[in-house]
Amino acid sequence: MSLINIPLPSTAVIREVGLRDGLQSIQTILPSEHKRAWVQAAHAAGVREIEIGSFVPKRLLPQLADTAELVAYARTLPELFVSALVPNLRGAENAIASGVDLMIVPLSASHAHSLANLRKTPDEVVAEVARIRAARDAAGAKTLIEGGVGTAFGCTLQGEVEPDEVLRLMQALLDAGADRVSLADTVGYAGPAAVSRLFERAVAIAGEQFWCGHFHDTRGLGLANVYAAMQAGVTRFDACLGGIGGCPHAPGASGNVTTEDLAFMLESMGVGTGLDIGQLLSLRERLSDWLRGETLHGTLWRAGLPKTFHPHSSQAAQSAILA
Amino acid sequence: MSLINIPLPSTAVIREVGLRDGLQSIQTILPSEHKRAWVQAAHAAGVREIEIGSFVPKRLLPQLADTAELVAYARTLPELFVSALVPNLRGAENAIASGVDLMIVPLSASHAHSLANLRKTPDEVVAEVARIRAARDAAGAKTLIEGGVGTAFGCTLQGEVEPDEVLRLMQALLDAGADRVSLADTVGYAGPAAVSRLFERAVAIAGEQFWCGHFHDTRGLGLANVYAAMQAGVTRFDACLGGIGGCPHAPGASGNVTTEDLAFMLESMGVGTGLDIGQLLSLRERLSDWLRGETLHGTLWRAGLPKTFHPHSSQAAQSAILA
């Protein structure tokens, strides 16, 4: 067996989701001022896609109550593609009104998880996506719709989730009018072999509409899973600065894949990310100050970049800073 | 590109190296009593290969001063294959006398690192391996000789290390009489693409004599690197319980790949390890008590095993416990 010629992509996109998936899972409510500083510094470090918050009722997620305001700020930064999560039609209407570039509708492939968290069956979420698509089109808005299939590798309530069911729901989201689809290992159950198998099938089904891989590092396999997904043809990954987040039901559990570690892995393989890792590490230090008392994750920050490290994106990041 | 049919091995060996590579890098001197308890519990959890210490002068590594005594203890446990590190001919003579199954001779492919740490050039180490081989054969001993090529992906002193030089030295070790060869990313500089490239070439050269992949998780890529090496055909990996170790020159840096996280990754892919992960997690807790004040690493311990986890090795581990 020779895999020496596995073609890795020349570039990949890291979508920073710390402001949404990270902050919604921790206790501290980060003031808007610090969120804006985070967005600004991330942009200066080369981040060009960001999930900035969630259009949910403020009483449910006070941590993300300033989402609309943050979208408005993020839109002032050049070339920044801004996403937000929307749980339903009402959230989507608010998202469209905010001028966000893309709205992510989460669907949980685990029926038990879906009922517990969204109070809808997965197929009811698909129907909601059809309504969101109709509303988007009626408004003449350009806001893209991403259907994100979560608990794609199992869930803490239901246990096993069948890959066939995951892919059926992904196809149903496309049929309902989602412009993009993604798969998420919401609870950190996936290993790289399962990722290879499922993502290959997903990419074969959705083609260019397959948008993003979303991995949690709950059990340490986040980066190995990204590598496996990349071999399956995926070139966009969600990540959180400092690996913040986790799960309210698993104290101390890690959150998403760590942005700076992922950027290092990709750049070390010659996969350009456009990110300046030194700047990301500096921003991580500021985040660590802002979130004193919260646990940050990741590994690169302890040892720093290797002496041999030649970033493939330094030029891009430099231009970004000067822009 | 379809990689869906990448044949993963049905089994892989995790060699526990925490008692050597882990303990030599931290301040605490673990009493022999605790080391024996560690070896015993690891064996009960299914560990069948262990690197137990180092035959170096006691004044250099007081943490490992009881290596010969530990070898004697480990040899009483059924089916346990016992390794120790030897830096030179004198160490090898002591190792042979101890009855260890395999001795690992470290060679640093970085000339600067080799001179600083071993006070020999890499080729002088190759010559020492030839002397060790002659001594082993003269003694009529069965002790296997493993030549371990370290800093195979760069080093903190020299920076870049050429892959051609790594492979030249690996071949030279075989020519000098090493029974086995291994590659080590001593300082955590490797990423999965570089691992794929170098390990494919190494396996092609050494065939069945290629023995082990040794990765440090210094920058978070340890498990992704293992996955890449496994795709290149490697089926034996060094790991430390609790990810202990690190580098005296990089405070807080992680040590080797974490045994329990690696076992989880392999088992989750259907690659049998013979290890009972629950028992490894319990042992990790004891180690955490023994090494109070030292930083342990790894991720699985926080969240525990997934609800969907079906160990492929439970039967083997059960038999081991009952044996």
Residue B38 has pLDDT above 60, yes or no: yes
pLDDT tens digits for range A110-165: 999 999 988 999 999 999 999 999 999 999 999 999 999 999 999 989 999 999 99
CA–CA min distance A301, chain B (Å): 8
Let me know the angle formed at the C-alpha of A279 by A276 and A283, rounded to the nearest 5 degrees.
135
Q: How many structural domains are present in chain B? A: 1
Instruction: Choose among B154, B298, B307: nearest Cβ to A306.
Output: B154
**Options A155, A212, A240, A247, the catalytic residue:** A247
Using the CB atoms, write b or e for B265-302: b if 16+ within 10 Å: bbbbbebbbbbbbbbbbebbeebeebbeebbbbbbbbb
- Asked if the model's pLDDT at residue A236 lies above 60, the reply is yes
Instruction: Give a yes or no: residue B5 inside a domain.
Output: no
Output the average pLDDT for chain A.
92
Mutation choice for A interface testing from B223, B230, B234 by most A CBs within 10 A: B223
Does the residue A169 lie in any domain? yes
Q: pLDDT tens digits for B231-288?
A: 999 999 999 999 998 766 555 667 899 999 999 999 999 999 999 999 999 999 999 9
Residue B317 pLDDT level (bands cut at 50, 70, 90):
very low
Question: Does some domain include residue A4?
Answer: no
Percent of chain B with pLDDT over 70: 92
Longest dimension (CA), chain A: 55
Q: Percent of chain A scored above 90 by pLDDT?
A: 85
Given an 8 Å threshold on Cβ–Cβ distance, is B303 in contact with A247?
yes
At A246 the pLDDT is 73
Render pLDDT for B60-69 as a digit per residue (tens, 0 to 9): 999 999 999 9
The 10s digit of each residue's pLDDT in B199-229 is 999 999 999 999 999 999 999 999 999 999 9
- Average confidence (pLDDT) over A56-79: 96
pLDDT at A300 over 70: yes
User: Is A247 in the active site?
Assistant: yes
Does residue A2 fall inside a structural domain? no
A264 CB neighbours in chain B (<8 A) are: 191, 219-221
B7 assigned to some structural domain: no
The mean per-residue pLDDT over the stretch A21-44 comes to 96
| DSSP for residue A57 | -
Q: Does B254 touch chain A (CB under 8 A)?
A: yes
A239 to chain B, closest Cα gap in Å: 14
Q: In which residue are the tokens 């009972």 written?
A: B276
Q: What is the largest CA-CA distance in chain B?
A: 55
Q: How confident is the model at residue B321 (pLDDT cuts 50, 70, 90)?
A: very low
CB–CB of A48/A78 below 8 Å?
no
Alpha-carbon distance A153 to A159, whole Å? Answer: 9
The pLDDT score that the predictor gives to residue B249 is: 57
Q: Can you spell out the DSSP letters for A247-280?
A: BTTBTT---BPBHHHHHHHHHHTT-B----HHHH
In a domain, A322, yes or no: no
pLDDT at res. A310:
81
**C-beta separation of A145 from A180 below 8 A:** yes
- Among the residue ranges A70-84, A238-252, A255-269, the one predicted with the least confidence is A238-252
Q: How much is the average pLDDT of A260-266?
A: 97
Q: Is B322 at the interface with chain A, CB within 8 A?
A: no
**Average predicted confidence (pLDDT) for chain B:** 92
CATH (domain of A293): 3.20.20.70
What residues does A183 pair with on adjacent strands?
A149, A213
| Residue pLDDT, tens place only, A150-172 | 999 999 899 999 999 999 999 99
Q: How many CA atoms lie within 13 A of B50 on its CB side?
A: 30
Label residue A273 by pLDDT band (50, 70, 90): very high
Question: Tokens 């030897």 appear where?
Answer: B86
The whole-angstrom distance between B32's CA and the closest CA on chain A is 31
pLDDT class of A249 with cuts at 50, 70, 90: low
Do residues A228 and A8 touch, judged by C-beta distance below 8 A? no
B165 inside domain: yes
Q: Which two tokens stand for residue A144?
A: 């893209």
pLDDT band at A263 (very low <50, low <70, confident <90, very high): very high
Residue A94 within any structural domain of the chain: yes
Q: What is the mean pLDDT of residues A94-107?
A: 98
**Is A219 in contact with B3 (Cβ distance < 8 A)?**
no
Give the pLDDT of residue A251.
59
**pLDDT for A7:** 79
Interface of A with B in 178-217 (CB under 8 A): 187-194, 196-197, 200-201, 217
Average pLDDT over residues B191-196: 96
> Using CB atoms and an 8 Å cut-off, which of residues 89-108 of chain A contact chain B?
none
Range of the domain at A175: 13-317
